[in-house]
Structure 1
Amino acid sequence: MSKQHEMTNNSMECDFEVIDKLADTIQYGISIPTFILGLPLNVLALSIFCRFWSRQTKTSVYMINLALADILLLLSLPLKLYYSTKAAPGLLCAFIQSLYFVNTYGSIFIIVCITVDRYICIRYPFEGRANQSPKWAILVCCFIWAVTWFCSSPMYVFQEKDELLCFHNMSKQAWSIPYIVSVEVFGFLIPLSVIVFCSAQNIWILLNHKNGAKKKAEDRSSLLVIIINLVVFLVCFTPVHLAICLQCLVRQHVIVDCNLKQKISLFIQVSMMVANLNCCLDTIFYYFAVREFREKARLKKIIELCPVFKPCAT
């Protein structure tokens, strides 16, 4: 994202040096633990899922792709940390930025697919369980990867060509209103609407189930997984998209107050770090939503000790 002290060369520009130093300190404090914790957890998840490829369902195919997206995003974090403080060629910056954003939005779309699949299984249990062939999920995931990589192509066009700090020198076209509106609508608002609708429907259905004591306990566990998944999505991705919207207003000179621009600069950098936490939090869903993964990861005793984490059946 752009540092506002590079937006203009006149003598009245804001000083963002203190803001940038603070953001760099926070970035190291959040991104390094995220990388250290998230990478081995997601590698473990991916390796276990792939060991049982012959028995994959739609949900597990989505989770394989989600783990892969999280791993690639986590691998981009060291590059992001290094080249956000050290100048690099524009083409290299474009690649690092596209790698970061492709896997961010790839994760969002795959989470949407998992949520929709869960909704179908709860809303139409017989049809949902009968239609668990992974072929459709594989095609959907291939489509998601193709679209996200294609949509990242403007990174190479919008990026300044000289040596620069990555994530800080996007050209004016990158902050144009049509481009930002497209990112906000298709990259966040539509996925958010789908997730909120499906989660609300699932919660309503589970709350109104009339079953035995054992089934009610499973429903309560399912409710916890659904609610936690929704809250994590909101907490991780809402701030960064609000920050992108505000930064667009800064770049369009709608927001001109220096103090407010400094706060937005800090907000957008911190919110990107918060979004990265989703890579770690996704693994909670793997552990407690997939029976085979749970068993092979040898977490049965942990789950027995902490029944609140008992997963719903997939």
Structure 2
Amino acid sequence: MISLVIWRRRIYFWPYLGDFPAEMATFDNNMTNLTNVSAFYCHFNEHFKYILLPVSYTLVFVIGLALNATALYVIVFRTKRWKPSTIYMFNLTMCDTLYILTLPFLIYYYADENDWPFSEPFCKLIRFLFYTNLYGSILFLCCISLHRFVGICYPVRSLYWVSARRAKLVSVALWAFVLFCQSPILYFSRIRDVEGERICYDTTSPELFNDFLVYSSAVSVLMFALPFIVVMVCNGLMVRKLLAPGWGSEGAERGGLSAQRSKQKSVKMIIIVLAAFMLCFLPFHLNRSLYYSLRYLRQVDPSQISCKLLEASSVAYKVTRPLASANSCVDPILYFLAGQDVRSSLTKKNKSSKSTSVSQHLATQL
């Protein structure tokens, strides 16, 4: 069982469609000669990847590291009291920072045109950390949206539901869940030597792709689709609540114009969060799922999927990779730096009345 792959102006033979170089060709599993190569062979011209990914990852690394380092400094050294929102923000920033720290190795790898200079265990570790912190960011974004939703839509009840202790427990549970769900990456990720070049698979080796497809689909549903629905619903309900005529009347009486401005800013922040989530994570997961599905169908029956369609899906998937990474640059701006102004303007309330206590609690959510 052989397959033909053109890689760096050389010819190799490979059994299935894989990442690199295997993603550049597909063959029927039962093919025993090269006379039918034209019926199965797909050549992808993806040299753009060796420019797009190193450049985009470098920008994300420089900008994201600076922003997240600043956010961590303010949270750790300038925040005296850690509220539930602070705890979630700290964990989100840690996810983004750890994610960013994996990028230099991938920058070198893609800039060197998929020649992995390190060991297989290190390849597994980098891929594991990459996806662990990517999905950790998604889940903590979901937690922050839920936290804000409870504080805005159920302000009185949230005084009893929300606490720093519960936020810590939720954070520990989320980390355990993410590590458990991403642990199979340590099995699927592996390297393969091809004519002196070492491939570090982003997915897995070709012979394990079918199993990896099942795993990847389950992860996409549990760690992206469901959190995405929660974020959309929570932020949509928050927008409706904030735009209601009677909302924040107590704050308007006591805080005047500043309270109204904070309310308007909160609505804008929610809209930006929704847009960022949809632009960063949604295109990446949709295109990746489509690409993996077409790869599988092409492997099963090459006559069903044309090479042009498969190549188009591959290009779209790789173009959206930097979008998912860019979210690590957006998170500190959305949830910490901009949020400071909201809290400072809304916490100036009278602590003697119940309505004032609610207003102060709302300030921690916004």
Question: TM-score scaled to structure 2, two decimals?
Answer: 0.74
1:184 aligns with 220
| Change beyond 3 A, Cα 1:258–1:59 | same
1:71 aligns with 97
What CA deviation, in whole Å up to 9, does each residue of 1:247-276 have, x standing for no partner? Answer: 221331246311121122221122111100
Higher strand share: 2
Matched residues in 2 for 1:131 and 1:288: separation? 25
Contact 2:132 2:182 in 1 (8 A): yes
Shift of 1:207: 0.7
What CA deviation, in whole Å up to 9, does each residue of 1:146-191 have, x standing for no partner? Answer: 2212222211222335343234461354554432321221121100
Higher helix share: 1
Pick the aligned partner of 2:315 from 266, 281, 289.
266
Alignment of 1:22-171 (within 5 A): 22-52=48-78, 54-84=80-110, 85-87=114-116, 88-129=118-159, 132-163=162-193, 164-168=198-202, 170-171=204-205
What is the aligned length?
296
Contact 1:206 1:223 in 2 (8 A): yes
Contact 1:159 1:169 in 2 (8 A): yes
Matched residues in 1 for 2:74 and 2:210: separation? 41
Matched residues in 1 for 2:57 and 2:218: separation? 27
Segments ≥4 residues shifted beyond 6 Å:
292-295
Secondary structure (helix, strand or coil) at the match of 2:363 reads coil
| Change beyond 3 A, Cα 1:175–1:140 | farther
1:240 aligns with 284
Which sits farther off after the overlay, 94-103 or 208-217?
Answer: 208-217
Pick the aligned partner of 2:329 from 264, 280, 283.
280
Shift of 1:126: 2.6
Contact 1:91 1:161 in 2 (8 A): no
What CA deviation, in whole Å up to 9, does each residue of 1:80-114 have, x standing for no partner? Answer: 12234222433221111111000000000000000
Pick the aligned partner of 1:289 from 321, 325, 339.
339
2:43 aligns with 15
Question: TM-score scaled to structure 1, two decimals?
Answer: 0.86
Q: Which runs of 5+ in 1 are unaligned?
A: 296-311
Which sits farther off after the overlay, 23-32 or 238-247?
Answer: 23-32
Identity over aligned pairs, percent: 27
**What letter matches 2:69 in structure 1?**
V
Bigger CA radius of gyration:
2
Secondary structure (helix, strand or coil) at the match of 1:277 reads helix
Shift of 1:277: 0.5
Contact 2:343 2:363 in 1 (8 A): no
Q: Which runs of 5+ in 2 are unaligned?
A: 1-17, 29-33, 299-303, 346-361
Secondary structure (helix, strand or coil) at the match of 2:200 reads coil
Matched residues in 2 for 1:34 and 1:197: separation? 29
